[in-house]
Amino acid sequence: MEVYSITINDHWIRISKKLWILLVLVICLLALHVTCAAKIQQPHIVFMIVDDLGWSDVSFHGSKQIPTPNIDAIARDGIILNNYYVAPTCSPSRGSLMTGKYPLRLGFQHEVIVANSPWVAFRILQGRISPNEERLRFLFWLLNGVEDYFTHFSDTTDMSGLDLHDGYENVWDFNGTYGTELFTTKAKEPLFLYIGQQAPHTGNFAKPLQVPDKYVKPLIGIPDEGRRNFCRNGICIDHSVGEIFDALEKSKMLDNTIFVFTTDNGGAVEGTDGSFGSNFPLRGSKYNLWEGGTRAVGFVWSPFLRHRSRIFNDLMHISDWLPTLVSAAAGTEVAKTMKHIDGVDLWPSFVHNLPSPRQDILLNIDSVDGVEGFRWKNFKLVKGSYYNETFDGWYDKNGKLIKGLLPAEPKARLKLYKRTYLKYLKRSKAARTLWRKYAKDPRLAISCHTPGCQTFPIVKCSRVIPPSESTCKPKEAACLFDIDDDPCEYFNIAEQYPEVVEQLQFAINRYRTAEKPPGGQPPDLAADPKLHGNVWKPWK
C-alpha cells in the first residue's frame, strides 16, 4: 500500500493514498468555497410594478382569457403572494413602496399626483440610495398617469406635451415606438432595476386602449370588444416579463437576482378611465377598499429562496417591500435600523418559510371622503364609499357589473384558450429558462384544475349576491368580513361580531393623529408644456 507523509506542528504523520486524495479534495473544495465567497455580491433586484392590473388579468389566478405563461412560470417557481395589499390608486401605492410608510403619512390618502399640480415633497428610501449621481441613474421615465403609447405625449384637460425622459434629458427620438416594448428594451441594463410599466393602464382618454395589432390574434375567443382590447395589454406585459427574465439569464445575472412583480392597485372595471380590467370574483374596482381594489397580483422569485413553488398566505402590504429588500441586500440587522416606517421585513419569512410578523394592515383613512379600512388577521373592516357606491358591486370576467346568475363558459371557448395558452407556453422565454436551468417543468404552469388546488391561489366563492341583497351599507355603518371564509365580501358579519368591529375601529383611530393633509394643490398654469418646449417636466 502506498503511503504519504505530511507534517503537522513538526510531527510526521503517515497516511494512505486514499486518505491523501480525500484530504487534497477537501482542501481544494475549501479553497474554492473561500474564493467563491469572496466573489459573492449583493443581489441584483429587479422590481416590476404594472399599472391597473386586475386580480383576474393573469392566468395563475384562474383567468381563461389572457395567456400569461411567462408570468405564470416565474410565479409558480417563486412565492405567490395571496394576501398582499396595495392602495386603491397608483400614487399612494408608489409612495408607500418608496418610503415604507402608509399613504396617510405622506398626504397621499385622498388623490393621485397629476403632472400640472404641485405636491408637497417627501423623502424617499430613507437616504439608502447613494448620493453619488453616477451610481443613481433615472432611466426612461414619465411624469403623468396617462400618455399616448406611441407619441409619448400626455394630455390633460387643456395641456399637452411630451412626457418621456432619460435621466434629466427629454427624449424625442421614439415617436412611433410602443411604450411597453420601449421600457422593456431599456430594462435590459440592470442593476437595482425599477420598472414602472405604463401598461395595462389606458392611454390618453381620447384613445385609451392602444396596443400593436400583433397582440390581437391570441384573444379572438373573447367576445367583448372592450375587454379584448384591454387584454392585449396583458399579453404585452407577459412578453415584457419574459424578455427581461431572458436578458438576466443571458447576462449571467439570474443566479444572483431577486425578481419582484406587483400591480399598484386593482383593475379599473366597466370602462372606467376607458379600461376593462377584471378583478373577478373579488368585489369592487380600482378606487375603493374592497378586495378588488386593494388585493393585489404579486409574487417574488429568486434562487435565494430556499422554499420556492409555494403560496404565501400571510399578510403583506406594499410598504413591506422597502425593509424586505433592504434586508435581502444588506441583512436583517440593517433593515432593523430603519425607523418610523410601517413596512415589515418579510425576507426571513420568504427565505426560511417562517410566519409573517405582520398581523394587520391599515388599508386607508381618507377623512375628506370618510372612507377607511383595516385588515386584522382574517377580519376586514370597511367604512364609507367612493363615487356614491358606484363600484361597490361585483364584476364578471369581462369587468362588467353582475346583475344575475353568470352563464357557463362555452366549452369551445375554453378549448380554444387552452390551445392558445399551450402555444404561447412553448414560446415562453421564462418557462424555457426555468426548464433548462433549474429543471422546472413548464407544464406545471397549468397543472391546477381541481377545486381547493394548492398550486395556484384561485379564489372560489359561493353564489353571487346582487348588491340589492347585500346587508353591507358602508356609508351608513362599518361592514365586517371574514376574508378567509368569504374572500368575495358577500356576508357582512358586523352584527355577529360587534367586539371585533370595535377593536378594528380602535386600531384605525390610533392612526388618525398621523394623517397629514392631502398633498395635492390646485393645477398651476406654469406647468403647461407649451412654456417648456412642449415637454412635461418639473417646473418649480
Mean pLDDT per 10-residue interval, the chain, length 540 residues: 45 49 52 42 87 92 90 93 96 92 94 79 47 46 68 75 75 76 58 74 60 66 82 85 92 91 93 84 95 97 91 96 93 92 97 95 96 98 93 91 81 84 88 86 52 64 64 92 94 96 97 91 87 83
C-alpha cell at 493: 358579519
Q: Give residue 251's pLDDT.
A: 82
According to the 3-state scheme, what is the secondary structure of 66-117? CCCHHHHHHHHHCEEEEEEECCCCHHHHHHHHHHCCCHHHCCCCCCCCCCCC
C-alpha cell at 353: 418559510
Task: Tell me the Ramachandran region of residue 334: left when phi exceeds 0, alpha when psi lies from -120 to 50, beta otherwise.
Answer: alpha
d(CA 468, CA 401): 13
Burial string for 218-248 (b: 16+ CB within 10 Å, else e) reads bbebbebebbbbbbbbbbbbbbbbbbbbbbb
d(CA 511, CA 362): 8
User: Cα 281 vs. chain centroid, distance in angstroms?
Assistant: 19
Question: Would you call 143 helix, strand, or coil by DSSP?
Answer: coil
C-alpha cell at 461: 366563492
- DSSP-derived letter for residue 285 is -
Task: Tell me the Ramachandran region of residue 271: left when phi exceeds 0, alpha when psi lies from -120 to 50, beta otherwise.
Answer: left
d(CA 81, CA 462): 23
Q: Is 526 exposed, middle or buried (0-12, 13-18, 19+ CB in 10 A)?
A: exposed
> Pick from 177, 144, 238: which is nearest to 527 by CA?
144
* Residue-by-residue DSSP string for 301-363: E-TT-SS-SEEEEEEEEGGGHHHHHHHHHH-HHHHHT--S------HHHHHHTPPPS--EEEE
d(CA 350, CA 536): 40
Q: Is 206 exposed, middle or buried (0-12, 13-18, 19+ CB in 10 A)?
A: exposed
Q: Give residue 133's pLDDT.
A: 40
pTM of the model: 0.81
Question: Would you call 123 helix, strand, or coil by DSSP?
Answer: coil
User: Cα 199 vs. chain centroid, distance in angstroms?
Assistant: 12
d(CA 364, CA 378): 17
d(CA 472, CA 479): 6
Q: Give residue 375's pLDDT.
A: 98
User: Cα 409 vs. chain centroid, distance in angstroms?
Assistant: 28
Q: Is 33 exposed, middle or buried (0-12, 13-18, 19+ CB in 10 A)?
A: exposed
Q: Give residue 363's pLDDT.
A: 98
